[in-house]
Amino acid sequence: MTIARNALLRMSKSHWLADRVMTRGFAKKAVKKFMPGEELSDALDASATIGRDQLGSVLTKLGENLTAQSEADAVRDHYLGAFDQIKLRRLNAHVSVKPTQLGLDFSQSGCAEHLEVLAQKAESTGTYLWLDMEDSSYVDRTLELYRGLRGRHEKVGLAMQAYLRRTPADLTQLLYTRPTVRLVKGAYAEPPHIAFPAKRDVDLAYYDLAVELLNAAAKGQALPIFGTHDMVLIDRLVTKAAAIGVPDGGYEVHMLYGIRMAEQRALAAKGRTVKTLISYGSSWFPWYMRRLAERPANVWFVVKSMLAG
């Protein structure tokens, strides 16, 4: 992990820095690159716009580690409304939620109840519910939540992180559920004994896990989702899918709003299933820092802007 990347990941956890940065004009302008706005309506409008280019979307409200039951209840109700709006506007859109938004930090059973309500709503509105994966301390609990949901619902998906050393074993144990898995590289600050620190090792781990998912897909045992902006890696996986008989609809590619949009449209034009992850909400600072940490070319510009602002 580079010094700049490590610094940004540490900064993402600073409430003091968030309070200072989020009021600065340069920061609000910069974050617009990665999110269309802070309101659900902004995300829905963006979903409709990119849908004209055959791009689906995954909507997620920013914010995590909520500490009060009333806050978790409010997030549940917000997402119930989001599902209704997706159906009303006939959007090709899913919803993705972090378990700590639904109270995982203080009640796993309460979080599970909220997820059950949302999974039922996803089914009734003809869409999908996704569970995001947070830092390594939440992996076991999130896997347990997903297994519970998957036992009762088909249209539920889970994000898994390739940089965690434990993920190959986790994936092997999860395959019996016939899961839908969005494989991402990982964007949290983790110690070396938990996560691979070197990009090359993460890339190798990602490819191996993706191939395992494709092999499962060839047997009808998984739906792989490749959550990466690495076009070389995507091309390798598309080629691998064709070689083992996984059709274009047997996997998907997910990328972030504002990143490689031309490539997203090109993939969709070639018949790939592509969805764009659209984030919204006022609690964008930790998420934005993690996005910057994934794009080293932007790091020093942003750091200098913060220090000068």
Query: What is the per-residue pLDDT across 15-60, written as a single tens digit (0 to 9) for each?
Result: 655 555 555 555 556 666 788 888 999 999 999 999 999 999 999 9
14 Ramachandran zone, left/alpha/beta (phi>0; psi -120 to 50): beta
Banded pLDDT at 189 (limits 50, 70, 90): confident
Report the alpha-carbon distance of residue 144 to residue 177 in Å, rounded.
Answer: 12
pLDDT over 90 at 226, yes or no: yes
pTM score: 0.86
Range name among 12-26, 45-59, 72-86, 120-134 with the lowest pLDDT average: 12-26
Residue 305's pLDDT is 46
pLDDT over 50 at 301, yes or no: no
Residue 38's pLDDT is 86
Q: Contact 133/158 with Cβ under 8 angstroms?
A: yes
Active-site residue flag, 76: no
Report the alpha-carbon distance of residue 182 to residue 275 in Å, rounded.
Answer: 11
Question: 36-280: what fold?
Answer: TIM Barrel (3.20.20)
Of 5, 76, 132, 272, which one is the catalytic site residue?
A: 132
Active-site residue flag, 73: no
pLDDT over 50 at 113, yes or no: yes
pLDDT over 90 at 103, yes or no: yes
pLDDT over 80 at 140, yes or no: yes
Task: Report, as an integer, the average pLDDT of 73-94.
Answer: 98
Residue 26's pLDDT is 57
Residue 108's pLDDT is 96
Tokens representing 138 are 């939440």
Of 5, 182, 272, 291, which one is the catalytic site residue?
A: 182
pLDDT over 80 at 128, yes or no: yes
Banded pLDDT at 308 (limits 50, 70, 90): very low
Residue 306's pLDDT is 47
Q: Contact 187/290 with Cβ under 8 angstroms?
A: yes
